[in-house]
Structure 1
Amino acid sequence: MSKNLGVFYTPHELVEFVKLQLEKTIDFSKVNSILEPSAGDGRFIESILKMIPEDKLNIKLIEIDTESCRKLREKFVPKYKNIVVNNDDFLFSKLEKRKYDLIIGNPPYISKSRLEREQITQLRNILTEFDIPHSADKNIWTSFILKCERALSIDGVMTFVLPFDLLQVKFSESIQNFLERNFERIDIYTFQSLVFRAAGQDTVLLVAHKRHKSPGLYIYDVDSITKEKRSNEPLLLTRQACRKSTAKSNGVKWSSLVLSDCDIEFLNSLYTKLSLVDNYLISRPGLVTAANDFFIIDSERLQEFGLQSFSKPVVQKGLYVKNKLVFSKRDYDELIDTGLPGFFLDFNNYTQGTSSQVDEYLAFGEQLGIHNRFKCRNREFWYKVPMVPPGDGFFFKRSSEYPKLLKNESKVYSTDSAYNIFVKLGYDINSVIYSYYNPLTMCFAELFGRYYGGGVLELIPSEFKRLPLPYTSISLQEFESFKKDFDEKSSIVDILDKYGRFILKDALCISDSDIDRILIIYRSLVNRRLNKSITR
């Protein structure tokens, strides 16, 4: 395996699962030609060879790695005269006029930052050719979908193992639209557990048919790769209903389609009745230091270099605030006492040569090469980090159990791991935080955000601002009671159940059964993200 080449050989169990799905949907007696554009060690082709009559074998394998190509030729060419192996970068491969009945594989997952300049140029050329925005150049697999669609026969099928990003990130929306326009039927298999651990991220199986007697978008949530949880009852959206549903979803992603149509429509009907977070708050990213280990230090290093007069209190990570609702001066002091870094070095008013301690520390930073980092070297003075004032609260953009919004009672600074929250005129931070912790808002955080194989949820600023917020004004006494329960909770669901009922009944006038339904949906989304199963 090579991370730089995006090469992660597909687990044999997943290869077998792919074969089983193809057996259900393809008449292999009519398959005359096959392409695998990133062949690796050839395990996909090897798995389906026995299903194809030998006299119809016409297979092309493309592989960028020279050594892998040599092994592919040794494995297949002596036995099968109609298998051709090309040592080539598929980005630049000029496919002949031949059309393929089946294109199968696991395209490389290579982010733009790991591509050579000429590869990025070629990737963008492909996007332009298919009228896809250049925002889809974030990863190389997008070009495989585009080029392979054009290489399919009129009844062809494209089968790829792809990152879960296909369903959830912004740049994939144009690829989703492309698939809808060019394939009559799309089957997507999501997995409740991490089936491709080597890749370090969640994956999906895409099976796209150019033509099909039963068109539509079919979503299968797979309990395991040997047993489908809903094999006889797929979560079905017709092609038209899919477009209608996603258009009405206010940013809900394809990943939400593991919910039923009626659940999505139910959530959207409530969403349209509420104002959004952006109506009540202004949010700004925290400090972007470009070198947290240098600019954010612990008390031992602070004293070693004598930099106390240049330090400001800071929270570097959401992990450091634990599961607090209010971050107080006492909480900050405890953070420092445990030896965690909590001092931000603000040199904005410093003139070099006026302090030997600071000059010594800056020289230490230059020895480490901090001044050559991209964001540092683009500053007028590399050591002067642009300041962002402390907010009324924090929202941490990455989370595990639930996305955290808490009150910044201590008025400490934060890094860009958090958005600083400033409450607009006419509202108060206590009521905003109280109103935020309800199951409906949490559902949309799960639906709007993206998540990684380890279950970490991330919301970018635009997604946070679009969250629905059933604002409920409360007194200080009510907030203190809420805080006590929050700090003593065994699970966030305890809070969402108890207080969410008051919040949602007050804002939406909905019944307890509706709130129970929202809680069930929320649990299913969280458990899906954390790769646990739940019976609904």
Structure 2
Amino acid sequence: NAAAMESLGASGVSTLLFAPAEPLSDAARAYIAMGEKLQIDARYKCRKRSPWWKVPLPPVPDAFITYMNSFGPNICGNEVSVPSLNCCHGIRFHDELRERGCAYLPMASFNSATLLSAELIGRSYGGGIQKLEPREAARLAVPSPCVIDTVQGRLSSARDEFDALLSRGEYETASELVDGIVLSGAMGLGDEEIGVIRGACKKMRDRRRNRVKAR
């Protein structure tokens, strides 16, 4: 959301993209001239652009999904309508699903079944990182609209707790919270069944990460 973007910017994270309107203002021209003085225009990516300072932007997505992951993929609704460059994949929903998808799918998809599907279809790269290409991300087993509809209220009530867990890096606890809402509450799975799914996911995740230690 906007507050999170402002907080990231205040902490020194790059959150703004130089994308001036034309005709260029004096300030924009001065900024471009500074880049040329630093020979940024001669760098590989910039040499292939025309003009060199204009970054091509895809359509603004409804949500994002991370594609290089340690724990597992994370979906984030694009509430502030920012464009996606190359740090994550963009997601677009059908018109009739856009509102629900943006509001509830990010949290609902952090369940153990979806995370297990990512381990099964994703690729493992150096450093124990899991990578999801666009076609692989499209195959993720995410909760259906019908499933989400039955637990919208519970997802909303647990949202602040879920966000706080993610902020502290307590991903397994966050996933267990969602399991109780989606896998148990909406899908009717028992503790033993959820335990099997959660255990399989953890085993595959640990194996992926431990390949680095074994080298």
Question: In the aligned structure 2, how far is the partner of 1:366 from the partner of 1:373?
Answer: 10
Quick check: 1:403 aligned with 2:73?
A: yes
| Cα shift readout 1:423-452 (whole Å, capped 9, x = no counterpart) | 223322223223311111101212222233
Name whichever of 512-521 and 403-412 sits farther off. 403-412
* Correspondence for 2:123: 450
Matched, 1:526 2:202: no
Is the aligned partner of 1:390 residue 2:60? yes
Deviations 1:321-358 (A, max 9, x none): xxxxxxx21111111212222211103x334xx53332
Q: Is the 8 A contact 1:446 1:525 kept in 2?
A: yes
Residue 460 of structure 1 corresponds to 133
Q: Name the amino acid aligned to 1:478.
A: R
1:389-431 CA distance string (max 9 Å, x none): 4333221222223322122223333431012222223322223
Correspondence for 1:503: 182
Q: How does 1:73-472 map to 2 (within 5 A)?
A: 328-347=1-20, 349-351=21-23, 354-427=24-97, 428=100, 429-471=102-144, 472=147
Question: Letter of the aligned partner of 1:513 in structure 2?
Answer: E
Asked if 1:478 corresponds to 2:154, the answer is: yes
Quick one: distance in 2 between partners of 1:408 and 1:346? 19
Shift of 1:524: 0.9
Query: May I ask how many residue pairs the two structures share in their alignment?
Result: 202
Q: Which has the higher strand share?
A: 1
Cα separation, 1, equivalents of 2:181 and 2:33: 57
Q: Is the CA contact (8 Å cut-off) linking 2:155 and 2:181 kept in structure 1? A: no
Q: Deviations over 1:44-92 (max 9, x none)?
A: xxxxxxxxxxxxxxxxxxxxxxxxxxxxxxxxxxxxxxxxxxxxxxxxx
Shift of 1:503: 2.3
Report if aligned partners of 2:119, 2:204 keep a CA contact under 8 Å in 1.
Answer: yes
Relative to structure 1, the CA distance from residue 329 to residue 350 in structure 2 (aligned partners, 3 Å threshold; closer, same or farther) is: same
- Select the structure of larger CA radius of gyration: 1
Could you tell me the percent identity over the aligned residues? 28
The letter for the 2-side match of 1:335 is L
SS for the counterpart of 1:364 is helix
**Alpha-carbon separation, structure 2, partners of 1:329 and 1:522:** 33
| Counterpart selection for 2:163 from 477, 487, 500 | 487
Structure-2 separation of matches of 1:357 and 1:431: 41
Q: Deviations over 1:131-180 (max 9, x none)?
A: xxxxxxxxxxxxxxxxxxxxxxxxxxxxxxxxxxxxxxxxxxxxxxxxxx
3-state SS of paired residue (1:358)? helix
**Structure 1 pair 476/521, CA: closer, same or farther in 2 (3 Å)?**
closer
Does structure 2 retain, via aligned residues, the 8 Å contact 1:402–1:492? Answer: no
Aligned to 1:235: none
The amino acid across from 2:94 in the alignment is K
Deviation digits for residues 160-203 of structure 1, max 9, x if unmatched? Answer: xxxxxxxxxxxxxxxxxxxxxxxxxxxxxxxxxxxxxxxxxxxx
**Partner Cα distance (2:14, 2:115) in 1:** 30
SS at match of 1:426: helix
Partner SS state of residue 92, structure 2: strand
Deviation at 1:519, TM superposition (A): 0.5
Structure 1 stretches of 5 or more lacking a match?
A: 1-327
Q: Whole-Å Cα distance in 2 between the matches of residues 517 and 405 of structure 1? A: 24
Residue identity opposite 1:518 in structure 2: I
Q: 1:492 to 1:384 in 2, by over 3 A?
A: same
Aligned to 1:515: 194
How far residue 527 of structure 1 moved from its aligned partner, in angstroms, is 1.5
Gaps spanning 5+ residues in structure 2: where?
Answer: none
Aligned match of 1:55: none
Q: 1:520: Cα distance to partner?
A: 0.5
Secondary structure, aligned partner of 1:330:
helix
Q: How far does residue 501 in structure 1 lie from its aligned partner after superposition?
A: 4.4
Q: Structure 1 residues 470, 355: closer, same or farther in 2, change over 3 A?
A: closer
Q: Relative CO higher for 1 or 2, CA cutoff 8 Å, sep ≥ 6?
A: 2
In proportion to residue count, which structure has more helix?
2
Contact 1:390 1:413 in 2 (8 A): yes
Q: Partner of 2:155: helix, strand, or coil?
A: helix
